[in-house]
Chain A
Amino acid sequence: MTGPADAAPPRQSPAGRLRRALPLVVLAVLGIVGVATSRSPDSTLPLDPDGTGPLGTKALRMILEEVGADVEILTGAPDEPLDTVLVLVDNFDETAVDGLSRHVSAGGVLVVTDPGGPLTPRLRPAGRTGSGFGDLPLARRCNLPALRDAAQIRVGSEPVFRVPARATGCYRDGNLAWLVARPLGSGTVVSTGGAGWLTNRGIRSADNAVLAGALLAPRPGTKVGIVRPGLVPAGGDGSPPTSISDLIPMSVKLALAQLFVAFCLIVLWRGRRLGKPLGEAQPVRLAGSELVIAVGNLLQRTGARSHAATLLRADLRGALSRRLSTVESDASVLADAVAARSGVEHTRVMDALAGPDPGSDAELVLLAQRAETIRHAVLAPPESGDHLVDNE
């Protein structure tokens, strides 16, 4: 049984298509890597204690130091006992949470401006302050003695909470509180609806700075720790991300590794070609007129203008004498005949036939042009019948 299946005519191979798409893929990967690496993980992050921009918290740090606090910038749970610890972004892992909880239980104060995170899992937002347009003044409305000087603060649209049992809520908006203080062990965990009030822009409003001082540095000499916010959870040892790879999720890393595997497979596919390259000895390619070019170059390089002029004049004399049937050797007779036939001045013809040798290349060019003009004037229409030369 036969079932001929004619093959399709040659079309572009997968390799060709892949080769065309490869630059785009490389550009895309380079673009992604470029964008990823262009972001610096340091002071440009919001809420950074060293950040001097509107969203930084450098002002808070300076205020605390102004009121006599001993401020330390942390990257995780404190290694040594502190009076107060401020957590601006709560994205700690379990180890760090345990460390901070032990700090509170030992009598410390923990201020968390990112409620609902691992440190305050039970504190869920029940509403927001204001309508979202501009800062909203909030009155204290609680009896915490520490906050007696901070009667009114201003915050943006931030979450407010239902106050749990055994906790105290301040800066209320109706039944909901923006600040919740909850005892834990011998210490206290204070949660606020957000961290905007501590930024360089927010801390100057109303009594925000007073509240910050009251919570974090109630007396001179207080040891305050500010945990530097990071993009990813800090490690168990509290170490911050040290390279860009730490910022890349594992799934992305493995997907990239899978792409590398695919790339290797493509390389293996392309590495084995279909049939060996074909070598082929080619015959020598040499222009037939190469010798003439070489002789011309040699004449020019050696400055053989006189010899070149002699050749051109001999050629002209030969052509003219053949056409006019005159004696080639007698230039004067030939010039007379040319002048009579063509109207070209006798002196010009004589100059072309037997003038002085050219003193420069320009004079040689002029001689060649003049010789060709005279030839054309005498021989026009051009010579013909030169193709067949025989002895018939």
Chain B
Amino acid sequence: MPILTHRLGILAAAGAMAVFFAPRPVYGFWLVNVGVVLLAAVDWLLTVSPRRLEIEREMPAVVALDTTAEVVWRVRNPSRRRVHLHIADELVPSLRPTSRRASMTVPRGARATARTQINPSRRGLFTLHRITVRTEGPIRLAGRQRTLELAGALRVYPPFRSRREAELRMDRNRQLQVGLRAAQGRGGGTEFDSLREYGIDDEFRRIDWAATARARKPIVRTYRAERNQTVLVLLDTGRTMAGRVALSAEVSEAAVGNTDSIPRLDHAMDAVMMMTAVATRLGDRTGLVCFGDRVRAVVPPHTGRHQLSAVTDAMYQLEPQLAESDYRGAFADTLTRFRRRALLVVLTELASQALPETLIPALPMVVRTHLVVIAAVRDPEVEYWARQVPTEAATAFRKAAAVQALDQRTRTISWLRSLGAVVVDALPGRLAPELADAYLNVKATGRL
């Protein structure tokens, strides 16, 4: 079916002037319209078919959330006519493209490119199947349009918001290991690393007397944290992880309800990436088990830099399930797959009313053989409401509800601690760093 252009409408509108001033308006009317139809028909016949064009789409395979990437359309025109064309790609609104359409003019036998920027607003897999192409005739009064198959896929990974915090912790650990600082914190590892000359801040108990005698100067033993230990992160993707929590811990009255927020699951993913980055850098093996009402993804423990990519790739498509999380099933599956003692990090939500019937009964399964850390993100809005000075009845009742929620959360945490789990309950932006600190603390004290 022919495509009309706006120029044809403008031409017809301009014909109204000719009709108005024509000596014989009736003849003028028919003359103008027949002329317009003839011009459009000829233009349509001379239009190059979109099927004759060779179109490619270039875009990165992976983009991190909230970063900008470029999509490039390349068009080659093998015909003998110059083509003016418009394209519309399947860039969905969540990709936030500058424009999903572009126009270009391609000389005969030549290529042309058009570009647009995308800035994804949610993570996941975006598959593109088709592209619509409209070509216009030489005088651009009419054209042709076709939707062509052009497959593509774009993976939008969760952002690693705590990357700087991770780098900071890895640098600190590296400094400790190379002995740049003699005064180490608690522990400093239990695995023998090397001998070096005594420093003024070294502990006497670390002096190796045999080496001192041989060298005739004080020599101390240095230790490093044990390597090749296993860290298993269990990521809850159940219904409670769908709740959105502010990105920032700072909440004010004006910002309540209007803050930038992301689901708890995304906060937890940031902590997963942090754990993976830090643990693999320290030589430990890190794995991931994602679960909801069933186990949804498993990444076996490995060390090395590629593990962060593997973990991220396993997570990026996961959305919270609107179902109750099956902790017992997830723990049983994990115990079956991985029998070696490990640091088991469970990223979940602690405000759920169902925890006493789900997580807490299942916890003894794993605390016997693994060191369990349970981590969750706290909602700063609830904390703000609990400490708010109310001025009306609604805020007073809401304050009471917030106080109740926090009290219940505190009781749950105490319960979990009493069962032998380490609990990290942190505000947004602090979950990943504090979880990493807890891990480093475990390493330093040799509890694993």
- CA–CA, A252 to B28, complex, Å? 12
Q: Are B19 and A255 in contact (CB under 8 A)?
A: yes
List of A residues within 8 angstroms of B113 by Cβ:
4, 6-7
Known A258-B12, A265-B12, A280-B92: A391·B417 in contact at CB below 8 Å = yes
What residue of chain B has the Cβ atom nearest to residue A390's Cβ?
Answer: B422
Q: Among the listed A268, A286, A390, which residue makes an inter-chain contact with B243, where contact means beta carbons less than 8 Å apart? A: A286
Flag A251-277 by CB within 8 Å of B: 1 or 0 each: 111111111011101101100101110
Query: How many of chain A's residues have a CB under 8 angstroms from any CB in B?
Result: 77
B90 interface residue (CB < 8 Å to A): yes
Q: Are B243 and A287 in contact (CB under 8 A)?
A: yes
Q: Are B20 and A387 in contact (CB under 8 A)?
A: no
In the assembled complex, the CB of A123 is this many whole angstroms from the nearest CB of chain B, namely: 29
B366 interface residue (CB < 8 Å to A): no
- CA–CA, A190 to B386, complex, Å? 103
List of B residues within 8 angstroms of A286 by Cβ:
242-244
Q: Are B244 and A251 in contact (CB under 8 A)?
A: no
Q: Are B107 and A272 in contact (CB under 8 A)?
A: no
What residue of chain A has the Cβ atom nearest to residue B142's Cβ?
Answer: A269
Q: Among the listed A272, A289, A365, which residue makes an inter-chain contact with B3, where contact means beta carbons less than 8 Å apart? A: A272
Q: Are B389 and A278 in contact (CB under 8 A)?
A: no
Q: Among the listed B8, B90, B388, B400, which residue makes an inter-chain contact with A265, where contact means beta carbons less than 8 Å apart? A: B8
In the assembled complex, the CB of B305 is this many whole angstroms from the nearest CB of chain A, namely: 29
B178 interface residue (CB < 8 Å to A): no
Known A254-B29, A280-B94: A365·B390 in contact at CB below 8 Å = yes
What residue of chain B has the Cβ atom nearest to residue A362's Cβ?
Answer: B393
- CA–CA, A250 to B319, complex, Å? 67
Q: Are A387 and B423 in contact (CB under 8 A)?
A: no
Q: Among the listed A2, A314, A369, A392, which residue makes an inter-chain contact with B110, where contact means beta carbons less than 8 Å apart? A: A2
List of B residues within 8 angstroms of A7 by Cβ:
102-105, 112-115
- CA–CA, A361 to B94, complex, Å? 45
In the assembled complex, the CB of A191 is this many whole angstroms from the nearest CB of chain B, namely: 32
Q: Among the listed B32, B90, B320, B437, which residue makes an inter-chain contact with A278, where contact means beta carbons less than 8 Å apart? A: B90
Q: Are A262 and B86 in contact (CB under 8 A)?
A: no
B391 interface residue (CB < 8 Å to A): yes
Q: Are B107 and A3 in contact (CB under 8 A)?
A: yes
Q: Are A3 and B110 in contact (CB under 8 A)?
A: yes
Q: Among the listed A272, A287, A292, which residue makes an inter-chain contact with B257, where contact means beta carbons less than 8 Å apart? A: A287
Flag B119-137 by CB within 8 Å of A: 1 or 0 each: 0001000000001101000
List of A residues within 8 angstroms of B20 by Cβ:
251-252, 254-255
A36 interface residue (CB < 8 Å to B): no
List of A residues within 8 angstroms of B273 by Cβ:
none
A300 interface residue (CB < 8 Å to B): yes
Q: Among the listed B32, B98, B264, B394, which residue makes an inter-chain contact with A296, where contact means beta carbons less than 8 Å apart? A: B394
In the assembled complex, the CB of A296 is this many whole angstroms from the nearest CB of chain B, namely: 3
Residues 1-32 of A contacting B (Cβ, < 8 Å): 1-10, 14-15, 18
SS class, residues of chain B in contact with chain A: mixed
Q: Among the listed A253, A274, A292, A367, which residue makes an inter-chain contact with B86, where contact means beta carbons less than 8 Å apart? A: A274
Residues 199-244 of B contacting A (Cβ, < 8 Å): 242-244
What residue of chain A has the Cβ atom nearest to residue B241's Cβ?
Answer: A288
A206 interface residue (CB < 8 Å to B): no
List of A residues within 8 angstroms of B87 by Cβ:
274
In the assembled complex, the CB of B55 is this many whole angstroms from the nearest CB of chain A, namely: 13
Known A2-B111, A8-B103, A258-B12: A387·B243 in contact at CB below 8 Å = no
Q: Are B16 and A262 in contact (CB under 8 A)?
A: yes
Q: Are B99 and A1 in contact (CB under 8 A)?
A: no
In the assembled complex, the CB of B15 is this many whole angstroms from the nearest CB of chain A, namely: 5
- CA–CA, A366 to B395, complex, Å? 12
Of B154-162, B326-334, B357-365, B424-432, which stretch is located at the interface? B424-432
A285 interface residue (CB < 8 Å to B): yes
- CA–CA, A284 to B6, complex, Å? 41
Q: Are B102 and A10 in contact (CB under 8 A)?
A: yes
List of B residues within 8 angstroms of A251 by Cβ:
19-22, 25
List of B residues within 8 angstroms of A15 by Cβ:
6
Q: Are A312 and B393 in contact (CB under 8 A)?
A: no
- CA–CA, A8 to B116, complex, Å? 11
B26 interface residue (CB < 8 Å to A): yes
Q: Are B434 and A269 in contact (CB under 8 A)?
A: no
In the assembled complex, the CB of B28 is this many whole angstroms from the nearest CB of chain A, namely: 7
Q: List 16 A-B contacts (CB under 8 A).
A: A10-B99, A254-B20, A266-B6, A269-B5, A272-B3, A288-B243, A292-B405, A296-B397, A315-B406, A365-B393, A367-B396, A368-B390, A387-B378, A391-B417, A391-B423, A392-B422
| Sample of 13 further A-B pairs with CB below 8 A, known A6-B113, A274-B88, A365-B395 | A3-B109, A7-B115, A255-B16, A261-B12, A261-B33, A262-B16, A269-B4, A278-B92, A292-B402, A295-B401, A296-B394, A300-B393, A311-B403
